[in-house]
Amino acid sequence: MTKSLSEKIGIKPHVRAIFIKAPEEVIKSIDPPEANISSSLRGSFDYIHFFANSQVELQKKFPTLKDHLKPTGMLWISWPKGGKHGTDLTLPTVIKTGYGYGLVESKAISVNAIWSALKFTYPKKGKVYNNSYGKLKK
């Protein structure tokens, strides 16, 4: 049995979630289960999914996203694949940004033909993270 996109991304029923700058067709394809989907970035979230088109945009928004992420939550960053939409984002640049702000990546998926996504979480205490793309801030 093939997992749905919402299962692959890890959205569970009844979590507090937000999609930021997400194309409507992407939200439809994710088809989140009975989650509490917020329309504004206020309070803390179990699931945040931000759609970025540039490194500048990602760098500017990442600290705010992290500030609203619960310690057990997940932050997904999506960007256009292969330079589509004129993006300067790539997997290495997204990983480097996350590590620079103290979060670690744990899973990458293809959302659809245009968007890739990378999952970030808070690092586990005592675990050593070695990534050739980024250094974890202490």
Residue at 133 is within a domain: no
Residue at 129 is within a domain: no
Q: How many domains does the chain have?
A: 1
Residue at 29 is within a domain: yes
What does the pLDDT read at residue 126?
84
Angle between helices 91-100 and 55-67 (to 10 degrees): 40
CB 9 within 8 A of CB 109: yes
What does the pLDDT read at residue 138?
64
What does the pLDDT read at residue 132?
80
Residue at 31 is within a domain: yes
Residue at 109 is within a domain: yes
Task: Give the residue numbers spanning the domain of 73.
Answer: 5-121
What does the pLDDT read at residue 69?
98
> In this structure, what CATH number is given to the domain that contains residue 13?
3.40.50.150
Which residue numbers in the chain have pLDDT < 70?
A: 1, 138
The tally of CA atoms less than 13 A away on the side-chain side of residue 136 is 16
DSSP the chain: -PPPHHHHHTPPTT-EEEEES--HHHHHHH---S-EEESS--S-EEEEEEE-SSHHHHHHHHHHHHHTEEEEEEEEEEEEGGGGGG----HHHHHHHHHHTT-EEEEEEE-SSSEEEEEEEPPPTT----BTTB----
The count of other CB atoms within 10 Å of the CB of residue 80 is 17
Residue at 132 is within a domain: no
Residue at 128 is within a domain: no
The tally of CA atoms less than 13 A away on the side-chain side of residue 23 is 14
